[in-house]
């Protein structure tokens, strides 16, 4: 099979402006991947499937990744006007100093596909796509029309990570119910404390469920109390 760089070159020759980037993997496996520009991903996917030499006709696995916002500290050199006293005379001079500055690197959501060729008996070729952010711009093109095996896996990613796959034939929740809020595989997801199922032997689960029940009882008692008259005020006595 071609190297990852050769596959990248073949894609760029077949799909002008594809914007493919090699993502190196420093692990012993050296399983490098290709990050696709979402606007050209569908065309690239069709090329990888239909190319006579690559013939990547089977998508074995698709998964999601959540990359939260990250605070990055950088060393930057800045010029400052420094005043010094030399022999009793104040003198101003420009000096270059190094400062530490912090910035927030916006997070994103990512989808990763593993492709194989059943016809050529080679693979995997790993594809990646990432969203603009984790909030209001989380759309990526669906690859289900190219590889049908992506259908349920993209639904699972949509359900658990919140990536919206445009062009998917049946995009709806797969594991969680329709009214469920949030996405359980996000790194900032917080478990609810109102467990409705039968309590188990997990002490933390029982403690949180008991605390939630106690909170509801206190809230209910407060709502039922009428200032100044108690329950008697209901009957007008």
Q: What is the DSSP string of 44-73?
A: HHHHHHH-TTT---EEEEEEEEEE--EEEE
For the chain, the structural domain boundaries read 4-67+109-166, 70-104, 191-226
Give the mean model confidence (pLDDT) for residues 101-125: 95
Global pTM value: 0.76
**pLDDT band at residue 233, thresholds of 50, 70 and 90?**
very low
Whole-number pLDDT of residue 96: 83
**Mean pLDDT of the chain, nearest integer:** 87
Cα dist from 123 to 9, 55, 117, 192, whole Å: 17, 10, 6, 41
pLDDT band at 98 (very low <50, low <70, confident <90, very high): confident
Residues 6+ apart with CB under 8 A from 201: none
- Backbone φ and ψ for 119, nearest 5 degrees, come out as -75, -40
205/129: higher pLDDT? 129
The pLDDT score that the predictor gives to residue 230 is 45
Mean pLDDT of 224-235: 47
Does the pLDDT value for residue 15 go beyond 50?
yes
d(CA 111, CA 36): 10
**The domain 4-67+109-166 is classified under which CATH number: 3.30.460.80, 3.30.1780.10, 3.40.50.720, 3.30.1120.10?**
3.30.460.80
Tokens standing for 91? Answer: 């003198």
Q: What pLDDT sits at residue 14?
A: 97
> Poorest-confidence range of 35-39, 148-152, 178-182?
178-182
pLDDT surpasses 70 at 156: yes
Q: Which of 192, 186, 144, 190 is nearest to 163 (CA)?
A: 186
Q: How far is CA 30 from CA 25, 115, 122, in A?
A: 5, 16, 16
Does the pLDDT at position 108 exceed 70?
yes
CA distance 149 to 186: 24
């Amino acid at each position: 099979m071609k190297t990852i760089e050769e596959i990248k070159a073949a894609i760029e020759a077949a799909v002008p402006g594809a914007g493919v980037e090699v993502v190196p993997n420093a692990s012993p496996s050296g399983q490098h991947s290709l990050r696709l520009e979402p606007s050209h991903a569908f065309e690239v996917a069709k090329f990888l499937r239909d190319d006579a030499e690559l013939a990547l006709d089977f998508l074995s696995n698709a998964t999601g990744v959540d990359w939260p916002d990250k605070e990055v500290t950088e060393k930057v050199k800045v010029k400052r006007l420094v005043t010094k006293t030399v022999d009793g005379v104040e003198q101003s001079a420009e000096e270059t100093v190094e400062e530490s500055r912090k910035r927030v690197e916006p997070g994103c959501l990512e989808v990763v596909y593993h492709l194989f060729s059943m016809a050529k008996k080679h693979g995997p070729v790993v594809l990646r796509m990432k969203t603009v952010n984790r909030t209001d711009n989380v759309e990526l093109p669906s690859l289900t029309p190219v590889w049908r095996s992506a259908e349920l896996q993209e639904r699972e990613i949509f359900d658990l990570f919140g990536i919206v796959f445009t062009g998917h034939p049946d995009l709806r929740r797969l594991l969680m119910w329709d009214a469920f809020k949030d996405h359980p595989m996000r790194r900032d997801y917080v478990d609810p404390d109102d467990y409705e199922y039968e309590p188990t032997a997990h002490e933390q689960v029982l403690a949180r469920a008991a605390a939630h029940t106690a909170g509801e009882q206190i809230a209910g008692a407060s709502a039922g109390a009428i200032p100044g008259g108690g329950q008697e005020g209901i009957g007008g006595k």
